[in-house]
Structure 1
Amino acid sequence: MSTSRYDQPETAGPRAGQHRAVTAVESAPLASDRRPTSGNIAILPKPGALFVDAVLAGGGQITDLDAETRAIVWLTSSEPERLEQILTTHPAIQWVQLPWAGVDAFSGLLKRCDRPQLLWTSAKGAYAQPVAEHALMLTLALLRRLPERLAATTWSHESTGESLYGLSVVIVGAGGIAVELLRLLAPFGVKTTVVRRSAEPLPGADRTVSTDDLDIALATADVVVLAAAMTDDTKHLIGQAQFAVMKSSAILVNIARGGLVDTGALVDALHSGAIAGAGVDVTDPEPLPDGHPLWSAPNVIITPHSADTPEMTAPLLAERLRRNVVAFLGDGSFAGVVDPQAGY
């Protein structure tokens, strides 16, 4: 997400325990030379009660930002320049916890502030359940032609719609969302292919291929779900060439980042019938401006980056924070470690 949520007053109603965190890779203790020195933790820009409780539950000590601060919990992406200034003027800080699963909003900052004794962690994997649920919802709605059904004002005598059972589903990305989506898809008996940087098999997938074989995988897909990180290498991963190899009956679902898709090419593909439909929770640009051609494209569902609401994610971020505070004070088994140069 590119907007601030957790530095605002907390709203009532998060259902703690409604979801659980999902990670693609289990955490392992960091090598001693990469492990941050434990110490005081500052929660910035504003310490919400839920996150204060999480730090305390993990055994951490919360203080105002000062020369003794060793870790920062950063709860917004709207002030990257302030975070950069803090890290520049407080070289003793050795761990920063970021609030989102994707860290593309911090990509420049991560590279500029990269230093040997600074560990970055994100919420990657923590929000996988609500986001995977949203991806499944968009998939089913598109297959059952809900956009045209919701727009109808008269009874149709034409039977349209497809079942998800037994279809070929390609998931681009192999993180927590992919892991959870594979679990949700299992009862439908679909044939699943995961596309990731390497061809290392992802448990639960029928087939795993590298991004070098993306176009080959797309040609077999009835459903394509984008769940990859947004980096320089993945910008416009899906464009005119990819829509050209996809089945005209295929649908595209994007619950990752809008920049993974060339929006102009998507609009063209929908209007020309190159693909059958698209469900997007993220767009490029975002927010999608009023009057943008994507709003009026056929068989499209657009949700306003709402796959995971604050009520869903706040308890999950709190649990990620508690867990990482335990790692900070213990053996360094941090969840969601970020590679500053790779950007995820």
Structure 2
Amino acid sequence: MSDTALRIRVIGDLFPELAEQLAATGAEAVQDAADAQGIVCSYGGTPAELHDTLAAHPGIPWVQLPSAGIEAFAASLRDHPGLIWTSAKGAFALPVAEHALALTLALLRELPERVRARSWAPASGTSLHGLHVVVVGAGGVGLEIVRLMKCFDTRVTVVRRRGEPVAAADRTVTDAELMAVLPTADVVVLAAAATPDTRQLIDAAALAALPAHAVLINIARGALVDTDALVAALGAGRIAGAALDVTDPEPLPDGHPLWEEPRALITPHAADTLEMIRPLYAARVGENVARRRAGRELVGLVDPAAGY
């Protein structure tokens, strides 16, 4: 490893955990981007600040983005495809997968209905054990969801862009086979990246393919679901429920039909709160700084053409 500190321009908040990781892994935070050997985008910084900084200093070779989704930084990625881009994909897998599991159990145990209830009712609900769970996406979050679901003796099918098997899953299929697995799904969890190919992946046809007792969980991006089609499917009772941590549009406007839908459970993009992810993001930055100084491949590499 080189003894020379890696000069990093931080755009946004240099919060304590991030400052500690930079210092511990041999980096120096600099104010002047002209001196920087890398950019770390932090919370409170904006995509416009990054775009302007790169326009003024196109020679900076590496940019670390603060989230798994990179849509907000599309302009910079488009204008500077030759840079090394890394994101936080996989870094927040533990809290996000935990939230997906919580939403799944809440729907299966009919907790939204119980929260609204003001009188005793006959006992009902479904156990997760033994169900068929379809996980769409095989990144860090998707793999952690698979691990948690297998704790419940479920049968897990992973849907991913490429056909390489996911070792922990019972079956792995490609996106082209999604419609074939939906008719036997009890739970569908969306954990895929938002790209042009995945926009409204769950549309009216996909929702119609699900059995009436199935539930849909989205902790990925709102654009993966056709919201109007989901409202119609829930209203008609064509699926048993939907739990959404992300929506399209987002934030979900006051008065939107989903707020009044008894089969819907909405959380306000809370799967990975800032308090949860700050130490996780700092650790990702620290790992990449150490790898960069050692000349090793970075983690969370982004393919600008693929969009994740």
TM bucket (normalised to shorter chain) is: over 0.9
Partners of 1:76 and 1:231 in 2: CA distance? 23
Give the TM-score taking structure 1 as reference length.
0.86
Post-superposition shift, 1:216?
A: 0.6
* Alignment RMSD: 1.5
Whole-angstrom distance in 2 between the partners of 1:108 and 1:275: 38
Residue 25 of structure 1 is matched in structure 2 by none
Pairwise CA distance, 1:186: 1.6
| Greater relative contact order (CA < 8 Å, ≥ 6 in sequence) | 1
Distance (Å, rounded) in 2 between the aligned partners of 1:91 and 1:151 = 55
Residue identity in the other structure for 1:122: S
Following the alignment from structure 1 to structure 2, what is the Cα–Cα distance between the partners of residues 249 and 108? Answer: 42
- The one-letter amino acid paired with 1:121 is T
Tell me the equivalent position of 2:115: 150
Number of corresponding residues: 305
Quick one: distance in 2 between partners of 1:99 and 1:55?
Answer: 15
> How much has 1:38 moved relative to structure 2?
8.3
Alignment partner, residue 99 of structure 2: 134
Q: CA deviation at 1:249?
A: 0.5
Match of 1:291 in 2: 255
Cα separation, 2, equivalents of 1:199 and 1:181: 19
Flag as ranges the 4+ runs of structure 1 deviating above 4 A: none
Asked if 2 retains the 8 angstrom alpha-carbon contact of 1:84 and 1:113, the reply is: no
**Distance change (3 Å), C-alpha of 1:272 and 1:78:** farther
Q: Is the 8 A contact 1:77 1:106 kept in 2?
A: no
Greater share of helix:
2
Match of 2:165 among 191, 201, 205: 201
SS of residue matched to 1:178 = helix
Structure 2 residue 87 is the aligned partner of structure 1 residue 122: yes
TM-score by length of 2: 0.96
C-alpha deviation, 1:341, in angstroms: 1.5
Q: Which runs of 5+ in 1 are unaligned?
A: 1-36
The one-letter code sitting in structure 2 at the alignment partner of 1:217 is V
Name the residue aligned to 1:70: 37
CA distance in 2, matches of 1:77, 1:245: 42
Cα distance between partner residues in 2 of 1:277 and 1:77? 35
Supply the distance in 2 between the matched residues of 1:123 and 1:87 (Cα, whole angstroms): 20
Following the alignment from structure 1 to structure 2, what is the Cα–Cα distance between the partners of residues 169 and 304? 24
Q: 1:68, 1:138 → 2: CA distance?
A: 46
Match of 2:75 in 1: 108
- Listed as ranges, the gaps of 5+ residues in structure 2 are none
Contact 2:161 2:175 in 1 (8 A): yes
- In the TM superposition, residue 223 of structure 1 has moved relative to its aligned partner by 0.1
Q: Counterpart of 2:295?
A: 331
Q: Which among 180, 186, 194 is matched to residue 144 of structure 2?
A: 180
Cα distance change, pair 298–46 in 1 and its aligned pair in 2 (3 A): closer
Per-residue deviation, 1:66: 3.4
Identical amino acids, percent of aligned pairs: 52
Match for residue 307 of structure 1 among 259, 271, 289: 271
Matched, 1:91 2:97: no
